[in-house]
Structure 1
Amino acid sequence: MGRQALPIQIFYPILAVIGVPVNLLSFLILLQGKCGLSKETTCYMMAMTVGDLMVLVFNVTVSQIVRYHSPDSLLKYTPVCRASAFLQGFSLQLTSWFTVSFTFDRFVAICCGELRLRYCTERTAAVVLTAVSLISLLTNIPLPFRYEPCFTVNRVQYGCCTMVGYLASPVWAAHRWVTTLSTTFLPIPALLLLNSLTARHILVASRARRALRISRCGDPNGDPEIKSRRTSIILLFAISGSFAAMSAPISVIHAWVGVTETVTFKGSSSLYLAVQITFLLRCTGSCTNTCVYALTQSRFRAQMKAVVKSPFVPLIKQFTQ
């Protein structure tokens, strides 16, 4: 791994210990449907939670913790290593486009009055999430085939080494750019565009509604609709904004690696360290959504407290009797 990678490796177990149970808790809370959110919004948030959980399992626990601390694990076998590479790419792309899908749904719900009735439904959310999953699956299917065994002993294949001719192949070059665009380059501009359009629409509509309320009631502060819009935009910007902030650095690194056609980093310790830091930030983004829910949704906080307290309720009752 290299001396510079060791301090970074310390953070991955922390991410796994915090992120995995927190995302599981978030999924259970959203599954109950008691957070005051619409059904399609709940579907998107549950999907994002599953995507974040997959990133924490395959990109943090398996790829970083198990591979680093257990070099003799099943990952040393080529088939398992290939499967791990596929699941890592699949989970990263999945969580990216689940976030974009949620942001687009909120854009339609807030900005497109006529389309909202047809698009913002639980059925449409299921169709969109299924389509995103299938496209991500198909995009990442070739990924394991870029690797070949590093060596073979008694017909058992060990390790994953980039296949000979990978950089010279135009087919692999096309796949490399497709995965880079779909995972890093396209989601962030899409989120920024949708958020800017949504924010503009909310601000214009809120000014008009505030002026109308002042002319009628003289009190713009008690309007529940304005409060609901404010909460919606805070939730939307917090989720997509945190994703963009955590993903932007690794997008820059991907651009540099793609332009320079770098496959290994043995001759560039600084580039290797940059890749490790930006990848850590990207994985950290899988722990932020639950914090966003807790900070912006009072009902989610209440449900989280209830779920956390529930295992201890019998014990508390026993001592209070």
Structure 2
Amino acid sequence: MHGLPKGLFFSVYYTGLAVVGAPANILVIVILSRRRCGLSKCITSYLLSMAVSDLSVIISAVILNRIVGLYLPSSFLSITPVCSARSVLIYATIYISVWLTVAFTFDRFVAICCQKLKLQYCNQKTAAWVIGIVCALSCLINSFLYLIYEPLYVADQIPRYCSVKITFYTSPAWASYDWFHRILTPCLPFVLILLLNVLTVRHILAANTARRRLHTFGRNQSDPEMASRRKSIVLLFTISGSFILLYSLFFITFLYVRIARLTYFSGSNFKASNFLLEESGFMLQLLSSCVNPFIYAGTQKKFREELKNGAKYPLRLIVKLFK
């Protein structure tokens, strides 16, 4: 970014994120809602809710926050109470997106490794309960963020923008909340996803070894169970792996701010030492909200088929009009 003005770079990046991410997630929602991708109702429920949460992140964090802030810096959304509410909405949607990824990973762990629990847990009803609880708790935990902001300045008796209160860094209560907030996302999800994936891989390797031994007596016949499991694992690992990769820098930023006793970046100081680190972390974090549609397209054959059918549909309409 040295040879490119920061404002221009961010404008191009976030505009591109919105232009690609929003339609991609809407397309995923439409395709999954049709339930023709050969996925179980349980998996479809999680993937559909993840797509909705990712779309919410793009709308709240990318469009209403970053893009509006770049192109309309003095809009209604910059008034401090609105800005504070917007911050709560942004973090709540990010929390929901993150913890739905954890919930999906746990669901696949149970389905693959815990056969006795599979029938009771891996069903659409349980998925609906888990999704509802994740959404409710995420909104509750992040509602306290509304209290940490004060106006950056007051113009014509109107408080403008959000600046984090100094007490947020000096108060033991707020410091505890910040640790709790950041540990819940993304530290704990990191640990849980890594642990669940390690346990899942270990179980798969043991199961595959046993199945290969059995199939040596079957003259190398194809194993549909192993093929189905392999597709499920590819989907699981690409989703969880992209999450870990794209959220790493966000967590490093939190550790750096707290250990070095700095403050989080505010829009008034583009030269802050932690600006590049923190903004890069946010950029990667928000990028994760438009990655999953491409993962589905790359790993799921029936999803690609539905995508092709959707692309052909407008052409068919045009052909019918001219007939």
TM range (shorter): over 0.9
Tell me the percent identity. Answer: 39
User: How many angstroms apart in 2 are the aligned matches of 1:291 and 1:154?
Assistant: 47
Alignment-derived partner of residue 252 in structure 2: 252
User: How many angstroms apart in 2 are the aligned matches of 1:5 and 1:187?
Assistant: 32
Note closer, same or farther for the CA distance 1:231–1:182 as it changes in structure 2 (3 Å cut).
same
TM-score normalized by the length of structure 2: 0.93
What is the CA distance between 1:126 and its match in structure 2?
0.6
Matching residue's letter, 1:49: A
Cα distance per residue 1:69-111 (max 9 Å; x no partner): 1112112211210111101111111111000000000000000
SS in 1 for 2:208: helix
User: How many angstroms apart in 2 are the aligned matches of 1:118 and 1:313?
Assistant: 44
Pairing of 1:1-321 with structure 2 (within 5 A): 3-4=5-6, 6-153=8-155, 155-215=157-217, 217-220=218-221, 222-265=222-265, 266=269, 269-319=272-322, 321=323
8 A contact 2:257–2:264 mirrored in 1: no
User: How many angstroms apart in 2 are the aligned matches of 1:264 and 1:166?
Assistant: 10
Note closer, same or farther for the CA distance 1:211–1:264 as it changes in structure 2 (3 Å cut).
closer
Q: Give the aligned length.
A: 317
SS in 2 for 1:302: helix
User: How many angstroms apart in 2 are the aligned matches of 1:87 and 1:262?
Assistant: 25
User: How many angstroms apart in 2 are the aligned matches of 1:175 and 1:134?
Assistant: 18
Note closer, same or farther for the CA distance 1:267–1:294 as it changes in structure 2 (3 Å cut).
closer
Matching residue's letter, 1:85: S
What is the CA distance between 1:268 and its match in structure 2?
5.5
What is the CA distance between 1:201 and its match in structure 2?
0.9
8 A contact 2:167–2:174 mirrored in 1: no
Note closer, same or farther for the CA distance 1:179–1:264 as it changes in structure 2 (3 Å cut).
closer
8 A contact 2:150–2:165 mirrored in 1: yes
User: How many angstroms apart in 2 are the aligned matches of 1:88 and 1:223?
Assistant: 45
User: How many angstroms apart in 2 are the aligned matches of 1:168 and 1:303?
Assistant: 54
8 A contact 1:8–1:276 mirrored in 2: no
What is the CA distance between 1:55 and its match in structure 2?
1.3
8 A contact 1:108–1:116 mirrored in 2: yes
Query: Once structures 1 and 2 are overlaid, which stretch shifts more, 117-126 or 54-63?
Result: 54-63
Cα distance per residue 1:130-172 (max 9 Å; x no partner): 1111111111011011012234455533222222422221221
What is the CA distance between 1:260 and its match in structure 2?
2.7
8 A contact 2:50–2:97 mirrored in 1: yes
